[in-house]
Amino acid sequence: MKNKTKILLFAFLLAPCFAAAMKSDTYFIDAPSPEVLPARSFGLNARAFGGGGLLAYFDFAVSSQFSVGISETFEHLIGTNDEEIKLLVPALQAKFRLYDGNEEWPAFALGFDNQGFLYDHDEKEYTQKARGLYLSAAKEVFIPGLIFAPGVNITVEGFEFDKLSAFAAASYNIMDAAALLLEWDNIRAVKESRVNGGLRVYLYEGFNIDFALRNFNNKAERVLQLKYVINL
């Protein structure tokens, strides 16, 4: 479809014009943080991946402590190829911020996310299982701007719980203009784990862009991700 790229770029350029909320880093690359969007705000996260795919997250903050969302994967959406666009089954997200943290204790959040990655049409399942039920924490450590965020989770296939896993992420804020991101995800066995890294650029209030490499300890996947937040 020749006009797919033009339509997508137009949507990305137009929507941020309405953004007027503070940035809220609710995720690192894949790993969730304890952060929740500002109350009564709406977030859209669009991730472009291999094969002309697009993964879109729609997130609404019911309050400053609780958010709900839905995600949708579009295959072969971007580019000029003639592949048929495929929509996969939507996934659900929810997050409740349990504790805001202080100088001694980290912030905590309990959440659920059944969005998987890399769908295998032959097996009719995701190659990389969804995070499922998780508990995440985050705290500034050692130097200003350095955030460390560990967590545990039980992966899911759809809504069926599978295996206990863990994750750890870190970010370093650079003068509120950018952030370096690093993750060790899917920590069950060394061969199954994924190391992700990237750079987040805050273009202006409410809008940022990520350049990332997923799973670069095995077969690296390049990812471009855009996020904007709108006050309602």
What pLDDT, in 10s, does the model give residues 35-53? 999 999 999 999 988 778 8
Average pLDDT over residues 22-39: 87
Cα distance from N-terminal residue to C-terminal residue, the chain: 34
Domains of the chain by range and CATH? 4-231 (2.40.160.40)
* pLDDT at 44 (0 to 100): 94
Mean pLDDT of the chain: 87
Buried-exposed string 100-120: b where 16+ CB fall within 10 A, e elsewhere:
ebeeeebbbbebbbbbbbebe
The predicted structure's pLDDT at residue 142: 93
Contact by Cβ (8 Å): 113, 91: yes
- Per the model's pLDDT, the better-predicted residue between 91 and 18 turns out to be 91
Average pLDDT on 117-144 reads 93
- 201, 209 in Cβ contact below 8 A? yes
180/200 Cα distance (integer angstroms): 6
Range with the poorest average pLDDT among 15-19, 38-42, 76-80, 137-141: 15-19
